[in-house]
Amino acid sequence: MEQRTQFYIDGQWLAPAGKGSIEVFSPTDGALLATIPQGNAADADAAVMAARRAFDAWSATPAAERAAFLKKIQEGLKARTDEIARTITLEMGMPYKMSQRIQVGSPTASFGMYSKMLADFPFEERVGNSKVVREAVGVVVAITPWNYPLHQIAAKVAAALGAGCTVVLKPSEVAPLNAFLLAEIIDAAGVPAGVFNLVTGYGPAIGEALVTHREVDMVSFTGSTRAGTRVSELASATVKRVALELGGKSAAIILDDADFKVAVKGVVGNCYLNSGQTCTAHTRMLVPATRYAEAAQIAVEVARAYRPGDPMNPETSLGPLASKMQQDRVRDFIAKGMAEGCELLTGGAELPKDINPAGYYVAPTIFGKVNPDSTIAREEIFGPVLSIITYTDEDDAVRIANSTVYGLAGGVWSATDEHAEQVARRLRTGQVEINGGPFNIYAPFGGYKQSGNGRELGKYGLEDFLEYKAMQFRPAPKA
């Protein structure tokens, strides 16, 4: 069992003021995996003040020098890829072979992207008699989730550091161990003291102390819409900038002219990625009513090919959920879907066969003929549960897709990209996959409506951590 007993504050590993500890459990078998410190308001204050003291010098550091530090962090992540992938697999359950590519590959690429971007990013421009400069917003608190733990950390930390901000990171207590590895890598890279700080603990204690701290200029939060609402309320007292990446209930529309074998397989794969623990998961598959039977048959065949099991086993394609709480929540949603009359096509609330019963597993599940107003069609489940919903025509499909409080992602499948794009433009959502187009870290990531505000990744993520300043000069006298 791993024991972490210190925070990384002001360039040092320090004993926390808080005396409690938090247990981290393995989702594979429910065993105790590690313990981490349970920080309190005093720890929050120490981390924030360290970031405040470091801000002036870091924000004035030339962009090329900041880029060099980001490059060193990228190299440090690459050097420890296997260790980090194994750590994330053990703490949150994504199959190891996928963790190497996604859970480590993506954050490594993010640090590299921002390192390159700083070389020619327009931090200032001339507008008439004004010089408009982009300056770091200040001290940033980053609060991150457990489903893609290091990816979400990197999307915030790499952009914030590149912009010239200093950072206090509070990762999820469910999957925090990867954050300690990142802190070690940042320390080894020689990043100046106080520029990056790491604390852990529960949201109501240390999290709220960070969000309400008067020396914090911005909060970047990823998590549930309920928690994001609380963050916004607390931050409003000091008029902080708040960036939120929250929930989703994304729809994939399969148009009548699409290749159904390809499209349905793509939607099921999207829904089941990371055992459904993806905020952009396409959990509603919209198909023409006249082709429901065909779509349902293909979806069930694809779902039954998934192999739940130990995420360290190379043959496993569906790992456990990250926590017992999440497992119970997903199984409750499945039971609710059945109680509301949705047709269970495969899977269900029972544990998968030949699985360690102490692990946090859920069978790959599909519901058919789902009413768009049912609970499982409206609320974010965050598990391997797909709802198939029928529509009458394209207008009806767009109406159903948009009939949600969320607007994070979506997908459209068609025989042509042009046809799919016509429908995609009508969706009120931050990202749309056209015929299964892959994720792009250079594109803006974020949502409409209750999926949040602000954008991460690419130049858009860097801009979120910058302020504008306009300096007006007297025009040169006319000859």
279 has catalytic annotation = yes
Euclidean distance between CA atoms 465 and 262, whole angstroms: 40
Q: What angle do CA 458, 460, 465 make, to 5 degrees?
A: 110
Helix (H) or strand (E) holding 133: strand 130-136
**Among the options 91, 165, 271, 279, which is catalytic?**
279
Euclidean distance between CA atoms 391 and 398, whole angstroms: 9
Helix (H) or strand (E) holding 326: helix 324-339
Helix (H) or strand (E) holding 116: helix 105-117
Q: Which two tokens stand for residue 60?
A: 């004035």
Residue reference for tokens 């440090």? 76
The burial class, CB within 10 Å (0-12 / 13-18 / 19+), for 212 is: middle
Strand residues in 306-355 grouped as ranges (E): 343-346
Euclidean distance between CA atoms 58 and 40, whole angstroms: 26
Provide the 3-class DSSP secondary structure of residue 130: strand
**Among the options 91, 173, 245, 433, which is catalytic?**
245
Do the Cβ atoms of 235 and 221 come closer than 8 Å?
Answer: no
Euclidean distance between CA atoms 224 and 386, whole angstroms: 20
Q: Which two tokens stand for residue 418?
A: 């042009």
245 has catalytic annotation = yes
Among positive and negative, which fits the CA dihedral 62, 63, 69, 72? negative
Q: Which two tokens stand for residue 247?
A: 């929930």
Q: Give the residue numbers marked as catalytic.
A: 245, 279
